[in-house]
Amino acid sequence: MRLRDLPSVDELLRDERLAAAPRPLALAAARAALDRAREEIRAGAEPGDLVERALAELESARAPRLRRALNATGVIIHTNLGRAPLADAALERVAEVGRGYSNLELELESGMRGSRQDHLADILRRLTGAEAALVVNNCAGALLLALAALAEGRDVLVSRGELIEIGDGFRIPDVLERSGARLVEVGTTNRTRAADYERAIRPETAALLAVHQSNFRVVGFTERPRLAELAAIAARHELPLVDDLGAGAFAPLEDEPTARESLAAGADLVTFSGDKLLGGPQAGLVVGRKAAIAKIRKDPLKRALRVSKLTLAALEATLRIYASGHRLPERLPTLALLMRSREDIRAACARLADPLRARLGERFEVAIEECASQIGSGSMPEERLPSMALVVRPQGKASGRVIESVERRLRGLPVPVIGRIAGNALWLDARCLLPQDEPSFVDNLKSL
């Protein structure tokens, strides 16, 4: 099709399905379909039936803005894509608790006012070995609150190697400053020793903070004290040691410390996320010593970081799966995705390749190739999981714009498919496309 063969907006609006829609919506849909078709023609692609495309635009304008997407990036815990997919049991609990009323802050036995924190404290204690536990809105909030409650106006010692940026401009030194605590840097970027902390302790010191390096590694001439060494120093000076784990795996994973291990090594407070390796809803978990948690519970900031009943319902269900200790990967999608074998992913690619080939036509080659997935969200940044991808390449000589346009079209589908471009090819890592996602993937292609 050439640019001048494109229909006009008025011609498109003569279609009765478009004409039946409210005029401003139909108009916007027709214009959007035409704009995209022009772009595609310029990029050398065939735009297809414009009425169908306008109808698809209309449908997407009517669809909710926050919606489901298919993750073909190969990054399992992808913050931009909503991090951990929830367990069925967690979703059921959200529906049940959210649909009506609950005992959120009511003690059923006494009929007195209760605390929303009571529902999860026991199970968190059991799972981590902590004396006490608290749940807030997210891990950044948990850290902010812990520092504010324990160290406002006083010093917190942190290694220069751990003054990190987690992502989206979230930096540990900034959080520390907003908590009202004073940051005291110890050691150097690559080497910090236990003695560096010891030397920096003075009467104004309120806490020692360890931050899991999460999204990067320092290699070469490096040194870090073990957590137990820091704990010994903290204990000698009667100071709390806070360990910000971030990912907070519950099932042991190489290189990712669990909250239980951190507490056992002597941390007084451990903070971690609910929606990273734990595989639950967005939440910040704080576990540790009774006295420290009690201080945090009294801090007015706690109210500002309060966790919702929906989060508590989903988190409780997720924690109960861990507590039950059986069939974890079957019941927790995040673990299933982590453990998915290359053969299983290859089979998924084989099922999806033909529909994709049929839809993209002869101008593209769709190959099935090995690739490597990542855990994401700062967990084991160097670790690569063997995976398989559908790799879309333009046939013959084509500019990079062509593959960008395929990427954009997939992203624009009713259920957006998110892949990544590398070397004039679009890589769709199938690790995070679960069998139940496959029908959506295939149906979707009709709109491509």
Ligand X SMILES: *Cc1c(COP(=O)(O)O)cnc(C)c1O
Q: Which residue in 26, 54, 135, 139 binds ligand X (CB under 6 A)?
A: 139
Contact 368, 347 (CB under 8 A): no
Q: Which residue in 138, 262, 374, 444 binds ligand X (CB under 6 A)?
A: 138
Q: How far is the CB of 190 from ligand X (least distance, A)?
A: 19
Contact 417, 424 (CB under 8 A): no
Task: Using the rule CB under 6 A, give the single segment among 55-63, 134-142, 250-258, 414-422 that binds ligand X.
Answer: 134-142
Contact 241, 234 (CB under 8 A): yes
Encoded amino acid at 58, one letter: L
Q: Using CA atoms, how far apart are residues 209 and 207, in angstroms rounded to an integer?
A: 6
Q: Kindly list the distances between the CA atom of residue 147 and the CA atoms of 55, 93, 196, 351, in Å, as whole numbers in the listed order.
A: 53, 32, 21, 51
Q: Is 166 in the site for ligand X (CB under 6 A)?
A: yes
Q: Is 444 in the site for ligand X (CB under 6 A)?
A: no
Binding mask 94-133 for ligand X (x = CB under 6 A): ----------------------------------------
Q: How far is the CB of 246 from ligand X (least distance, A)?
A: 2
Range 19-38, binding ligand X (CB under 6 A): none
Instruction: Give me 184's structure tokens.
Output: 């005291």
Q: Is 140 in the site for ligand X (CB under 6 A)?
A: yes
Instruction: Give me 196's structure tokens.
Output: 């560096």
Range 267-296, binding ligand X (CB under 6 A): 273, 284
Q: Using CA atoms, how far apart are residues 288 and 116, in angstroms rounded to an integer?
A: 18
Rg over alpha carbons for the chain, rounded to the nearest Å, is: 26
Q: Is 78 in the site for ligand X (CB under 6 A)?
A: no
Q: Which residue in 13, 186, 211, 417 binds ligand X (CB under 6 A)?
A: 211
Task: Using the rule CB under 6 A, give the single segment among 65-73, 136-144, 180-188, 428-436 that binds ligand X.
Answer: 136-144
Q: Which residue in 155, 244, 256, 316 binds ligand X (CB under 6 A)?
A: 244
Contact 440, 410 (CB under 8 A): no
274: nearest Cα among 174, 436, 97, 127: 127
Q: Is 210 in the site for ligand X (CB under 6 A)?
A: no
By CB under 6 A, name the binding residues for ligand X. Answer: 138-140, 143, 166, 211-212, 214, 244, 246-247, 273, 284, 377-378
